[in-house]
Amino acid sequence: MSASNSAIESVLVENRVFPPSDAVAKAARISGMAGYEALCAEAEKDFEGFWARLARENLQWTKPFTRTLDESNAPFFQWFADGELNASANCLDRHIGTPAENKTAIIFEADDGTVTRITYKELLARVSQFANALKAHGVEKGDRVLIYMPMTIEGVIAMQACARIGATHSVVFGGFSAKAVHERVIDAGAVAIVTANYQMRGGKELPLKAIIDEALATGGCDTLRHVFVYERTATPCNMVAGRDKTFTQALAGQSTECAPVPVGAEHPLFILYTSGSTGKPKGVQHSTGGYLLWAKLTMDWTFDLRPDDIFWCTADIGWITGHTYVTYGPLAAGATQIIFEGIPTFPNAGRFWQMIERHKCSIFYTAPTAIRSLIKAAEGDASVHPARSDLSSLRILGSVGEPINPEAWMWYYKNVGGERCPIVDTFWQTETGGHVITPLPGATPLVPGSCTLPLPGITAAIVDEMGNDIPNGTGGILVIKRPWPSMIRTIWNDPQRFKKSYFPEELKGYYLAGDGAVRSADRGYFRITGRIDDVLNVSGHRMGTMEIESALVAKTDLVAEAAVVGRPDDVTGEAICAFVVLKRSRPTGEEAKQIANELRNWVAKEIGPIAKPKDIRFGDNLPKTRSGKIMRRLLRSIAKGEQITQDTSTLENPAILDQLSQAN
């Protein structure tokens, strides 16, 4: 990889292009743009034939499919529907009897630095044993199991064990609140929960099981029968007789062999809740066949995975990135991967770089937020700079979750990748299942800040509000015109919301991603400009503004009204800014600070600490039109600290703007 111009030093020049070096291109699975274009042409010529070929080549089917795509009930598309397979068998059993069976599947590094390695054969035995424990407790194909686990080998085992018996898992990020767990248990109708007594983060032991207890004590979880508790630490936790079992108890006497249960390709492998533009999170439902195909395929395409790679995706299994690029993709592809329990700043902000050196990581995949915070740390303290670690094992870098600003891209490229490693800036979403727009490391010339081009067969486009194509160089709405195998199948329990959210009538049946984007005039490269709905992206985590507003107004003794907007933030991408009207008089000074803190903690309890507003401002009321609509664009300007230049003549109460502009 080399800079095609000498502008590498300057972060202000916009048109830097980094084509793959000849050596990288030559060795890659998809080699050069000719390789990419050949696959695109194949998909265009015979769309279904293309996907059928890949599904046959990449997955092991217990019953071959005869039909590739069924569009008869669009937008409820079905892929490979009459085929049968098992996801866990495709991740584990397929490697048994091959040279990979004794290969390390997972290198686990705990928060305190302890390293555990597990081979594919051992992982299969442990997944099978836990699958048997689930079966022994009556968990069956089609049941839903909620997983609330720290980043551990056991978290992956729990997910794989569900897949093995055909149970649908729903992982809830360990930072979400008891209330969030409660809502998800009820919406999913979960019969069991898999959790841990505690989780270790940054040297601290944080409760997990206690949050499950609190969630279940709320009542209404009528479907729930069992709670399995992994003993992550030696500290005891409350156990409810008849309902709760430790892993040790549940696994006792269970065989390490368990035949995988074949399921139809459309069988729901998992439900993952994500934020939308209303207060209620959406249960995004994914399939088994199409999803797994994508997980495996993108390991090969986007990461150009080789047998000797050491792959590390830093995402938590509570997010889609952890599903596709920790639990399913790397295992389906037979990779050795690193799983890290802790946080990037413990015991110091050089942890990532030290771990890359320690484990000879060759493919490193993380979020721009992490990069930006580590840049800050490295600039302030040379001892945690990546230059202090030997990063020569790296060959590919990845970015995911939010737009990466060119400055952060350049720093990552130079200081982590040694100007040698391509950066794949992968655009995708919980709903897309895996990468949809991304560079290919041995093919695509890179432009900092651009996710470049759609994967072969992905018909991404930019359109106006009526679904008409927009010329390159002009911003518009990002859509995908044709279905693809790993797309969301429906919203659990809410097919109408699925149709309305993702396939609005005016968009000609295209999939609406919810992001704005623009294609460059010269290369047609995509650049994501951010969400076009009321969804914020804070540290790469999706948060609905309405969700946070609902949480605030749920504090009924204090809050009369609340409006939440995002504002740009150097480290977290976007920051949450809340404008609040209290039921009492408007507080100022110390009192305002104290109430703001109380509200922050309240939101942490209602949703989770990631949803805490950074900024809370109090007003006597909110800027509204005469018809009572809150004028959010004004609030966005105030949050950014901008002068209000917009027309405020329709405002009922213009004086409120000055009041809200004053920071508390």
Instruction: Determine if 403 is a binding residue for ligand PRX (CB under 6 A).
Output: yes
Of the two residues 422 and 514, which places its CB atom closer to ligand PRX in the complex? 514
**DSSP H or E run through 108:** strand 104-109
Tell me which stretch binds ligand PRX (CB under 6 A): 113-121, 289-297, 394-402, 409-417: 394-402
Sequence length of the chain is 664
How far apart, in whole angstroms, are the C-alpha atoms of residue 551 and residue 125?
Answer: 43
Binding residues for ATP: 401-403, 425-430, 515, 531, 542
Binding residues: 201-204, 321, 401-403, 425-430, 515, 531, 539, 542, 553, 559
Using alpha carbons, select from 622, 593, 591, 607 the residue that is nearest to residue 555.
Answer: 607
List 266, 402, 534, 606, residue binding ligand PRX (CB under 6 A): 402
Binding residues for CoA: 201-204, 321, 539
Instruction: Determine if 298 is a binding residue for ligand PRX (CB under 6 A).
Output: no
Of the two residues 537 and 545, which places its CB atom closer to ligand PRX in the complex? 537
Exposure letters 561-590 (e unless 16+ CB within 10 A, then b) = bbbbbbbebebbbbbbbbbbbbeeebbeee
How far apart, in whole angstroms, are the C-alpha atoms of residue 282 and residue 530?
Answer: 20
List 58, 129, 336, 537, residue binding ligand PRX (CB under 6 A): 537
Instruction: Determine if 409 is a binding residue for ligand PRX (CB under 6 A).
Output: no
The helix-helix angle for 545-553 and 589-606 (nearest 10°) equals 110
Tell me which stretch binds ligand PRX (CB under 6 A): 84-92, 190-198, 420-428, 454-462: 420-428
3-state secondary structure of 18: strand
| Minimum distance from residue 518 beta carbon to ligand PRX (Å) | 12
Instruction: Determine if 539 is a binding residue for ligand PRX (CB under 6 A).
Output: no
**DSSP H or E run through 239:** none
How far apart, in whole angstroms, are the C-alpha atoms of residue 550 and residue 548?
Answer: 5
492-521 mask for ligand PRX (x: CB under 6 A)?
---------------------xxx------
- Amino acid residing at 572: T
How far apart, in whole angstroms, are the C-alpha atoms of residue 175 and residue 609?
Answer: 7
Instruction: Determine if 285 is a binding residue for ligand PRX (CB under 6 A).
Output: no
List 360, 531, 614, 636, residue binding ligand PRX (CB under 6 A): 531
Torsion of CA 397, 401, 402, 408, to 10 degrees: -30
| Minimum distance from residue 325 beta carbon to ligand PRX (Å) | 9
Neighbouring-strand partners of residue 339:
108
249-278 mask for ligand PRX (x: CB under 6 A)?
-------------------------x----
Instruction: Determine if 542 is a binding residue for ligand PRX (CB under 6 A).
Output: yes
List 104, 321, 362, 545, residue binding ligand PRX (CB under 6 A): 321
Lookup: tokens for 650: 């329709």
Residue numbers 59-118 binding ligand PRX by CB under 6 A: none
Tell me which stretch binds ligand PRX (CB under 6 A): 251-259, 355-363, 421-429, 560-568: 421-429
Instruction: Determine if 545 is a binding residue for ligand PRX (CB under 6 A).
Output: no
Of the two residues 168 and 399, which places its CB atom closer to ligand PRX in the complex? 399
Instruction: Determine if 322 is a binding residue for ligand PRX (CB under 6 A).
Output: no
Tell me which stretch binds ligand PRX (CB under 6 A): 175-183, 189-197, 262-270, 400-408: 400-408
| Minimum distance from residue 425 beta carbon to ligand PRX (Å) | 5
Instruction: Determine if 426 is a binding residue for ligand PRX (CB under 6 A).
Output: yes
Using alpha carbons, select from 181, 173, 242, 237 the residue that is nearest to residue 209.
Answer: 237
- Amino acid residing at 194: V
How far apart, in whole angstroms, are the C-alpha atoms of residue 53 and residue 61?
Answer: 13
| Minimum distance from residue 471 beta carbon to ligand PRX (Å) | 22
Instruction: Determine if 451 is a binding residue for ligand PRX (CB under 6 A).
Output: yes
| Minimum distance from residue 534 beta carbon to ligand PRX (Å) | 13
What are φ and ψ of residue 103, in 5° steps? -75, 150
Q: Which residue has the tokens 């709320």?
A: 218
Of the two residues 165 and 611, which places its CB atom closer to ligand PRX in the complex? 611
CB 341 within 8 A of CB 326: no
Using alpha carbons, select from 161, 130, 168, 145 the residue that is nearest to residue 249.
Answer: 130
| Minimum distance from residue 321 beta carbon to ligand PRX (Å) | 5
Radius of gyration in angstroms for the set of CA atoms belonging to the chain, rounded to a whole number: 25
Burial class of 531 by CB neighbour count within 10 A (0 to 12, 13 to 18, 19+): middle
3-state secondary structure of 173: coil
CA atoms in the 13 A half-sphere facing the CB of 280: 14
CB 549 within 8 A of CB 608: no
| Minimum distance from residue 191 beta carbon to ligand PRX (Å) | 26
Tell me which stretch binds ligand PRX (CB under 6 A): 49-57, 332-340, 384-392, 423-431: 423-431
CB 502 within 8 A of CB 245: no
- Amino acid residing at 302: T
Burial class of 652 by CB neighbour count within 10 A (0 to 12, 13 to 18, 19+): middle
Instruction: Determine if 528 is a binding residue for ligand PRX (CB under 6 A).
Output: yes
The residue ranges that bind ligand PRX (CB under 6 A) are 274, 320-321, 400-403, 425-430, 451, 513-515, 528, 531, 537, 542
